[in-house]
Amino acid sequence: MRKYIYGVFVFFFTGYLFAQEKEMSLSMQEAIDYAIKNSYENKVSLNDIEAAKKKKWETTTIGLPQINGKVDYQNWIKQQVSLLPVAAFDNTQSTIDIVEEYFDGVVRNGNEVTTPTGFIPLRFGTKQTMNASVTLSQLIFDGSYLVGLQSAKTYLKISEQAKEKTELATREAVINAYGNVLVTEKSIEILENNKKILEKNLNETQKTYDNGLTELENVEQLQITLGNVESNLRNAERLKEIAYQMLNVSLGNSIDTKLTLTSTLDNLVIDNTDLSLLATQFNIDNHIDYKIAQNDRESKRLLMKLEQSKALPSLSAFINYGANANSDDFNFLDSNQKWFDYSLFGVTLNVPIFSSLGRSSRTAQAKIALESADIRLEEAKQKLNLQVQRAKSEYQLGIENYETAKKNLALAERIEKKQQVKFFEGISSSFDLLQAQNQLYTQQNNYVQSMLNVIAKKAQLENALNIPLK
């Protein structure tokens, strides 16, 4: 019984620890740092860099010494026959025995033998043979190989730049996802507060109606407004769950991971309101997209160089050592088996002479691709400069919209409160109150969205300026 209780305790304690591991508490910056290391896209980028390093080494090894071993075993199931003319044999006893084996009518006259004309089928060699060899080969010169080494370095650089771009994109994605969660929670908080106020107003209006001091239309109007707010609240609660799941995906977590966000929307807006960022000078040479465009141009240059190098001769050499053995039975592993060794050295010079202008055509195509890459590089330069200007403008507009939305919300709150007072004093109608309430709800939504917009536009501007990660 004691063992059973102990086992149950261990089970639930382990489950508790597992549940604890699925809970995370993160600020905005902590979420960014975590995603840089753990997001799906960044993990793939790291794998791409490792693959590029292996590819670079694979290319390098082409010009390094290559050693290959070979063991060749042959067994004649039916041994091959060679034909030799009878006239090639002399009149010795061994020859007579061979001739008598294959021909009839051998004429003997004392020691003289007269053999018929024709061919004798003979099998040469042993039934089984084995050959073992080791070959060392070395590429001495090949223009394509030299270009290949440069291309491998460029390929690695492309992978590293792709990871840098992925990290910047991850930062922006996490900021947006984190901000969406906070906006959803803020919207729920506002809607719950609106609901309480409406329920209170509806309760008071219902009592007033029961006493015959107001019309049923006023009650029904408040019921409609309350119903809309409740519907929006339920939708916001569903969106909150989805927003948390989207943030988990951005972080590289399971969507069921429980998150606690320690940054608040108000603090993030303050932290991300930085007008000095608008005066930051843009250095296009450091921008990752411009570096990628330059690297693309470099790859096209190397491609043209590769086609040109194919017109150069290539030189390689090899040396090998081997031994072979022959036997009618498989006794090659016996110590008394006779092996005959050999060695060979060779040099190969391959000189391209004429390709019917095929190489010239491929070189011309590569040159055209390089010219197109130059055009794309200039296009990237212009687009990136325009992107920075647009991002600065949108960020400044976002800050201005936030300030305006903040003022408009304060005004809408005062107007709605005045209409409530007038409504319960019988000075204004339920329609006037409805207009004031709808205006308030619109301004509340604009205010919350303007807060998220400041945060998102700041992240967009940082990416446009290629501001490195903290």
Predicted pLDDT of residue 87: 64
Q: Is the pLDDT of residue 94 over 60?
A: no
Identify the CA nearest to 402 among candidates 270, 298, 289.
270
Predicted pLDDT of residue 12: 46
Dig out the tokens for 434 from the structure. Answer: 């409805």
Q: Is the pLDDT of residue 105 over 50?
A: no
Tallying the residues shown for the chain, one arrives at 470
Predicted pLDDT of residue 32: 95
Q: Is the pLDDT of residue 47 over 50?
A: yes
Predicted pLDDT of residue 117: 59
Residue 21's alpha-carbon distances to 27, 30, 39, 252, in angstroms, are 18, 17, 17, 15
The one-character DSSP state at 253 is -
> How far apart are the C-alpha atoms of 231 and 307, rounded to whole Å?
67
For 309-367, write each residue's pLDDT tens digit: 988 999 999 999 999 998 888 888 888 888 999 999 999 999 999 888 888 999 999 99
Predicted pLDDT of residue 427: 87
Helix (H, G, I), strand (E, B) or coil at 468: coil
Name the pLDDT band for 89 (thresholds 50, 70, 90).
Answer: low
Q: Which residues of 22-33 are buried (b: 16+ CB within 10 A; e: fewer)?
A: eebebebeebbb
Q: Which long-range contacts (CB under 8 A, 24 or more apart) does 115-121 make?
A: 115/86, 115/89, 116/86, 117/86, 117/87, 118/85, 118/86, 119/83, 119/84, 119/85, 119/86, 120/83, 120/84, 120/85, 120/86, 120/89, 121/81, 121/82, 121/83
Predicted pLDDT of residue 11: 46
Predicted pLDDT of residue 116: 53
Please, what is the end-to-end C-alpha distance for the chain in angstroms?
57
Q: Is the pLDDT of residue 99 over 60?
A: no
Predicted pLDDT of residue 282: 92
- Structural domains of the chain in order of their starting residue, each with its CATH number: 24-75+132-465 (1.20.1600.10)
Q: Is the pLDDT of residue 14 over 90?
A: no
- Mean pLDDT, to the nearest integer, of 8-13? 45
Name the pLDDT band for 174 (thresholds 50, 70, 90).
Answer: very high
Name the pLDDT band for 102 (thresholds 50, 70, 90).
Answer: low
More confident residue, 11 or 318: 318
Predicted pLDDT of residue 442: 95
Predicted pLDDT of residue 397: 96
Q: Which residues of 74-103 are buried (b: 16+ CB within 10 A; e: fewer)?
A: eeeeeeeeeeeebeeeeeeeebbebbeeee
Share of the chain above pLDDT 90, in %: 65
Predicted pLDDT of residue 86: 66
> How far apart are the C-alpha atoms of 245 and 11, rounded to whole Å?
28
Predicted pLDDT of residue 98: 57
Predicted pLDDT of residue 395: 96
Predicted pLDDT of residue 107: 46
Q: Is the pLDDT of residue 269 over 50?
A: yes
